[in-house]
Amino acid sequence: MITRNFLRYFIVSSILGSIVFGCGEQSVNRGDLPLPDEVSYNLHIRPILSENCFACHGPDANKREAGLRLDIPEDAFKVLEESPGLFALVPKNPLESHAYLRLVASDESEQMPPPSSNLKVGDREIALIEKWIKQGATYQPHWAFTSPEKIDLPRIKAKKWPQNPIDHYILAAQEERGLSPNTPADREQLLRRVTFDLTGLPPTLEEMERFISDQAEDAYERVVDSLFASRAYGEKMAVHWMDISRYADSHGYQDDYYRTQWPWRDWVIHAFNQNMPYDQFVTWQLAGDLLPNPSKEQILATGFNRNHKITEESGAIDEEYRVSYVVDRTNTIGKALIGMTLECAQCHDHKYDPISQKEYFQVYAFFNNVAEVGMEESSPGFSRKSPAKHPMMEITDEDVDGILSFLNRPDSAALSTALIGDVNSGANYQALLSETGKLRVSVMADLDTIRPSFVLLRGDYETYGEEVFPGTPERILPFDNAYPKNRLGLSQWLFDTGNPLTARVFVNRIWQQIFGAGLVSTPGDFGMQGALPTHPELLDWLAVEFMENGWDIKRLLRQIVLSNTYRQSSNVNPDHLKKDPENIYLARFPRNRLPAEHIRDLVLSSSGLLVPTIGGPSVKPYQPPGLWELATSGRGNLASYKQDSLGALYRRGLYTFIKRTVPPPSMILFDASNRDECEIERERTNTPLQALMMMNDPTVLEASRVLAATLMKETGTREDVVREGFRRIVGRNADQIEISILAEFLEEMLLDFESNPDVAIQLLQVGDSPIPTDLPISELAAMMQVIHTIYNMEESITKS
Amino acid sequence: MENKLIEHGLNTNRRHFLSKLSLGLGSAALGSLLIPDLFSGINGERDVDPLAGIPHFAPKAKRVIYLFQNGAPSQLESFDYKPKLREMWGEELPDSIRQGQRLTGMTSSQTSFPMVGSIYDFQQYGQARAWVSELFPHTAKIVDDICIIKSMHTEAINHDPALTFFQTGAQQGNRPSMGAWLSYGLGSENSNLPAFTVLLSKGKGNGQGVYSKLWSNGFLESVHQGVQFSSGDDPVLYLSNQEGMSGQQRRKMLDRLAELNQLSFEKLGDPEIHAKVAQYEMAYRMQTAVPEATDLSKEPDMIFDLYGEDSRKPGTFAANCLLARKLSENGVRFVQLYHQGWDQHGNLPNEMRDQAKDVDQASAALITDLKQRGLLDETLVIWGGEFGRTNYSQGKLTKENYGRDHHPRCFSIWMAGGGVKPGFVYGETDEFGYNIAKNPVHVHDFQATVLHQLGLDHERLIYKHLGRRFRLTDVAGHVVKDLLV
């Protein structure tokens, strides 16, 4: 049975909702599916109208055809402007409803959508509209624009299963569909999962031993608490936020010079580790400089909105680029914080969502007063090719000793080397020289005067429409007059308890990071074209809990990882696979390939090579030669790739240097963001190029040799070495067949190498770490191949 | 009723899943790396197919080779002959012609705009009597095989946005590039090679760099991303096994790996594990197929003679042209070359001579070579930059030397093969070479035309992302039928 409160949004249950009308799909022929007893506007009709009708009969006033608007009931029921006496929709009467008649018209000139649109409404969809009209053509408010509410927990049968309210919602939805929860994950699986989810690292051997042997009731809870206390937690959380914030180590256009935004990244790690509440975390980043007597830490946080690309192309037109930066910030707010495709309203009113172009530029106006230029080189009074652009802050030794003590600032020689790079003469060299010894970060600061904002017609930076002032989209939540009309006010609006989006969007993305997909599968689009939530009540419960408990991120995560939903086994039950192949209802924990950074973390950590230093300038590990050199114009301090040495080769994935125009291949091949713009969800692909990288990347090969050598020195028999290696990498005990496959392979390789020791020597030559001289070469080389094979297993780079 | 609904929902869901499987892996298949066996029998059950109806009409071309001249070669020293500019050498560009067009930051403060004619002579060639400058003697010999468009125009005035606009249809990054769209729409003809490959080279002239966003998959799956190839030791990143590791040993390792993965599958039951095994097998096949497809050592001397001496040097434009032919004839859908060095703000006469020398012979050779192999009809070759150059001098004008700034209002490119009219010159600029006088071709028109030749309707090759349907041509573009056979 369906739960009552669900009726707030949907007349019938969502069984078919996410399946039938998931966003991103083409209209689907499902003529054979029976119609629901009651047709719901939100569930059945809006997706059809949005997909097929709103572009010409929706929110965009300029493109509206025949004066007809179908997304608002008052307008839809009005007499047709161009056909007096006729109506688009007449409740209960499809044959008087010309919107319906046009759908079924046989005359091409009458047909809607017009054939030229390449859109086609299916028979079942037409039947749904007919039935909806017959039942009274009742509209409903869009779910995401109504405030989330906590409701009574749903009734469930398996009353013993839930650990916390999350489980009630998950279980209720499963029971409705004849599913039941999976068995609990075994300890090895659970420990590896939660360690990756909270720290991005695999569990160490000691952690495995401790947890396996700890039979106390709260053993798991204590593991979770110790993971939250680990500083690696902040690093893990920073990875996704760096995608959101389009963080990179270069400016991003053409010559693509070096930039120093890494202190901002160090702050993010610090803030997560301090468990800074989300409202404060975002407020500092949006408007830290506008807080009363802002501290240097608060100002550093505003680097968030200066992480976007900045041009240094000679000839760039200043205003064109300055406007593009403001646009970038505006779009980022939409995508990252409120799950709205604001950018669709830059050139015209939004085609689907109630966001006018004017409202777009009202949000834009919040960010239009920054004391910046589009192109510093051509602007008098600015230095050339600087690693930070105005407005900027300087970080002094006193800061690092004091309020910014979380920064990992290397000595100034190292900073200077990074800064000068390949440049060795000319005006840019002089300019860069003048920057050495300083550490500067681009941050937000407004002009003393007001830079007026206008609607930019067609989005063009030169074509002004009416003047606008800071404001927010009315239909989401009106901007309270008590709020200051600046970025601080915008932040207050975001965290107003009446804002229906901010909390939902964030908890959804946390869910997405853990389970691989959000409860709303379109995390950047909660609008009309977005997917409906699979578990609307759970989403709301999480959102309200989050707000009621001071936007406490660790608490939110803790609730999730302590749930029994989370603690299920990921082993696939064939019956469940058949009933719910996409695992929408989570009758098992979903298996997902690790993100690029954590694949690196796994390899370095399990081999013992990892240098766990936190923060500091980004590093340049092994990379295939020639990539930067071939793509560069020859100018710039990043024209050639200067690989780091020693410890800097073995840092965690999030510290890998990102030159935007040539992003690191080991990251990009595994779907990491190129940091071109705000990215809220990475793809998870599976390609042969990934296989090639795992087979031949020196990082993986070196780690294989190092781990082989370590284990050979520490452990007894060859079989023990294989067993230990497997355990460190895959996070579980290998069973006997697995051991014998690897042991056979070892023997095979050993034979090969003993008859051909030169090859063995050759294969050991990889990476900068020393090759042990006190181990038999053929055996080491053979063991290296075995360990390397384990690294290449699907399970190794998958979170189960 | 409720139960029935659930059942139908689940059936639908299962089909949906299968379709996702065939789209997920399958568009890896379609898209880049075909694995036919893996999907036999699934296609019939697909109920979601954004690629239904492809090709939208009979294709004229199967493949594209795009010789991108990065930095923007001057049309006034190549294909757009303007004797008037020589007559008016040094005179001010009339305001009536300039019409207040926006200028780059490099010449916006220039107070004088002295017109300058080509220092190089032009002659007419071929049946079309096409004008070609003396810098391009080899191209001059193939004018009857190519179609010169003199009336291209674009919206961007600086390199980064203009290149991005040409390749992705939008000036800002993160949209799929043309090759990615073709990979998405048409997939690869060769199961062992990617559908979209990229080759880079550099000339001696002022260069402007290239950026990986130019071969980005944007919001399409990353299998549609351009794969950078090189003519060096490792033609594809991470392709070569570690030195000392033989193919045989790799095979042994992969066999063991497959056994281990199969054991994981038996424990975990996740079909993704099998997909992973398939990708490792694909990788293994690539390790043989790619070096074969990129091996130039077996080309006869006459071929190297045709492409020029440079073609023996890996990494040159000429070697890349030859490599492009090999990849293309092996079924790579879209081979994208970038050759840097065409940004002649100053010292144009000297730099352009060198640049032209680097590319002229090999570009013409590629056409000749494709033709003699009977491949030109089905291969569309494109040659051109991201915008044009001004008819007035940037910086100091002397009798022997001058520079030209960026000019988006008119420029020349050429196309050949793939159903484009051979021996044809299209579009005209005014006598000052500043504005288009006849038959303008916008970048989106050009893109629509390229897609059309491959059997794709640019208004129907769409991908829905963040609720919106995206196209290569954004919301514009018309197929230029006049250019087509």
Tens of pLDDT, residues B151-166: 999 999 999 999 999 9
Of A16, A314, A759, the CB nearest to B106: A314
Q: Which residue among A494, A522, A556 closes a domain?
A: A494
Q: Tens of pLDDT along A588-633?
A: 999 999 999 999 999 999 999 999 999 999 999 999 999 999 999 8
Q: Residue A707 is part of which domain span?
A: 696-799
> What is the mean predicted confidence (pLDDT) over A69-78?
92
Q: Within this chain, do residues A128 and A243 fall inside the same structural domain, yes or no?
A: no
Inter-chain contact A341–B174, Cβ cutoff 8 Å? Answer: no
Cα separation, B231 vs B227, in Å, equals: 13
Q: Within this chain, do residues A332 and A467 fall inside the same structural domain, yes or no?
A: yes
Q: Within this chain, do residues A293 and A417 fall inside the same structural domain, yes or no?
A: yes
19-78 of B, contacting A, C-beta below 8 A: 20, 25, 28, 32-33, 47-50, 52
Q: Within this chain, do residues A357 and A478 fall inside the same structural domain, yes or no?
A: yes
248-287 of B, contacting A, C-beta below 8 A: 249-250, 252-253, 256-257, 259-261, 263-264, 267-270, 272-273, 275-277, 279-280, 282-283, 286-287
Closest-CA residue of chain A to B199: A630
Percent of chain A whose pLDDT exceeds 70: 96
Q: Within this chain, do residues B280 and B338 fall inside the same structural domain, yes or no?
A: no
Cα separation, A583 vs A565, in Å, equals: 12
Cα separation, B112 vs A126, in Å, equals: 65
DSSP 8-state assignment for residue A253: S
Q: Within this chain, do residues A122 and A243 fall inside the same structural domain, yes or no?
A: no
What tokens were used for B130?
């096409």
DSSP conformation letters of B353-408: HHHHHHHHHHHHHHHHHHHHTT-GGGEEEEEE-SSEE-SB-BS---SS--B--EE-
Crossing angle between the packed helical segments A553-562 and A536-548, to the nearest 10 degrees: 140
Q: Within this chain, do residues B320 and B268 fall inside the same structural domain, yes or no?
A: no
Q: What is the pLDDT of residue A524?
A: 95
Q: Within this chain, do residues B207 and B356 fall inside the same structural domain, yes or no?
A: yes
Q: Tens of pLDDT along A605-614?
A: 999 999 999 9
The count of domains in chain A is 3
Q: Within this chain, do residues A114 and A241 fall inside the same structural domain, yes or no?
A: no
Q: Within this chain, do residues A132 and A241 fall inside the same structural domain, yes or no?
A: no
Q: Tens of pLDDT along A438-478?
A: 999 999 999 999 999 999 999 999 999 999 999 999 999 99
CB-CB contact of A499 with A490 (8 Å): no
Instruction: Enumerate the β-bridge partners of residue A250.
Output: A258
Q: What is the pLDDT of residue A471?
A: 97
CB-CB contact of B386 with B159 (8 Å): yes
Q: What is the pLDDT of residue B49?
A: 57
Give residue for tokens 């941050």: A443
pLDDT band, residue A648 (cuts 50/70/90): very high
- In angstroms, the Cα distances linking A529 to A51, B428, B457 are 7, 45, 24
> What is the mean predicted confidence (pLDDT) over A169-174?
97
Q: Which residue among A471, A494, A517 closes a domain?
A: A494
Mean pLDDT score across all residues of chain A: 92
- Kindly state whether residue B212 falls inside one of the protein's structural domains: yes
Of A352, A574, A794, the CB nearest to B273: A794
3-class DSSP assignment, residue A489: helix
Whether A17 has a pLDDT exceeding 80, the answer reads no
Q: Residue B142 is part of which domain span?
A: 63-231+298-483
- Kindly state whether residue B327 falls inside one of the protein's structural domains: yes
Q: Within this chain, do residues B183 and B282 fall inside the same structural domain, yes or no?
A: no
Residues whose CB is less than 8 angstroms from the CB of residue A775 and which lie 6 or more positions away in sequence, other chains included = A709, A712, A713
Q: What is the pLDDT of residue A5?
A: 42
Q: Within this chain, do residues A252 and A387 fall inside the same structural domain, yes or no?
A: yes
Of A313, A686, A748, the CB nearest to B158: A313
- In angstroms, the Cα distances linking B229 to A201, A298, B202, B314, B323 are 33, 46, 15, 11, 9
| Chain A: closest CA distance from residue B131 (Å) | 31
| Chain B: closest CA distance from residue A246 (Å) | 12
Q: Among residues B239, B260, B261, which one has the least CA distance to residue B250?
A: B239
Rg of chain A in Å (alpha carbons): 29
Q: Among residues B11, B10, B12, B42, which one has the least CA distance to residue B27?
A: B42
Q: Which residue type sits at B332?
A: V
- Kindly state whether residue B55 falls inside one of the protein's structural domains: no
Cα separation, B192 vs B236, in Å, equals: 13
Q: What is the pLDDT of residue B232?
A: 67
Residues in chain A within 8 Å Cβ distance of B17:
581-582
Give residue for tokens 């389970």: A515
- Kindly state whether residue A295 falls inside one of the protein's structural domains: yes
CB-CB contact of A308 with A328 (8 Å): yes
- Kindly state whether residue B236 falls inside one of the protein's structural domains: no
- Kindly state whether residue A475 falls inside one of the protein's structural domains: yes
Low-confidence ranges of chain B (pLDDT < 50): 1-48
Whether A792 has a pLDDT exceeding 90, the answer reads yes
What tokens were used for B481?
């039928």
- Kindly state whether residue A733 falls inside one of the protein's structural domains: yes
The count of domains in chain B is 3
Work out how many CB contacts closer than 8 A connect A with B: 292
CB-CB contact of B296 with B325 (8 Å): no
Model pTM score? 0.90
- Kindly state whether residue A148 falls inside one of the protein's structural domains: no
Q: Within this chain, do residues A249 and A100 fall inside the same structural domain, yes or no?
A: no
- Kindly state whether residue B54 falls inside one of the protein's structural domains: no
DSSP 8-state assignment for residue B416: E
Q: Which residue among A84, A111, A140 closes a domain?
A: A140
Q: Within this chain, do residues B222 and B363 fall inside the same structural domain, yes or no?
A: yes
Q: Within this chain, do residues B76 and B1 fall inside the same structural domain, yes or no?
A: no
| Chain A: closest CA distance from residue B473 (Å) | 15
Alpha helix (H) residue ranges in B142-177: 159-168
- Kindly state whether residue A422 falls inside one of the protein's structural domains: yes
Residues in chain A within 8 Å Cβ distance of B283:
688-689, 691-692, 695
- Kindly state whether residue A598 falls inside one of the protein's structural domains: no
Q: Within this chain, do residues B262 and B208 fall inside the same structural domain, yes or no?
A: no
Cα separation, B230 vs B296, in Å, equals: 12
Inter-chain contact A696–B272, Cβ cutoff 8 Å? Answer: no
Q: Within this chain, do residues B339 and B213 fall inside the same structural domain, yes or no?
A: yes
Inter-chain contact B268–A691, Cβ cutoff 8 Å? Answer: no
DSSP 8-state assignment for residue A222: H
What tokens were used for A210?
């401790």
- Kindly state whether residue A637 falls inside one of the protein's structural domains: no
Inter-chain contact A689–B28, Cβ cutoff 8 Å? Answer: no
- Kindly state whether residue B110 falls inside one of the protein's structural domains: yes
The enclosing H or E element of B302 equals helix B301-307
Inter-chain contact A692–B239, Cβ cutoff 8 Å? Answer: yes
| Chain B: closest CA distance from residue A140 (Å) | 20
Find the largest Cα–Cα distance for chain A: 96
- Kindly state whether residue A560 falls inside one of the protein's structural domains: no
Inter-chain contact B104–A668, Cβ cutoff 8 Å? Answer: no
| Chain B: closest CA distance from residue A525 (Å) | 6
Q: Within this chain, do residues B170 and B278 fall inside the same structural domain, yes or no?
A: no
Q: Within this chain, do residues B1 and B73 fall inside the same structural domain, yes or no?
A: no
Q: Within this chain, do residues B347 and B377 fall inside the same structural domain, yes or no?
A: yes
> Helices (H) and strands (E) in chain A — how many of each?
33, 6
3-class DSSP assignment, residue A84: coil
Q: Which residue among B263, B279, B295 closes a domain?
A: B295
Q: Within this chain, do residues B207 and B330 fall inside the same structural domain, yes or no?
A: yes
- Kindly state whether residue B168 falls inside one of the protein's structural domains: yes
Alpha helix (H) residue ranges in B114-205: 137-141, 159-168, 178-186
Q: Within this chain, do residues A444 and A308 fall inside the same structural domain, yes or no?
A: yes
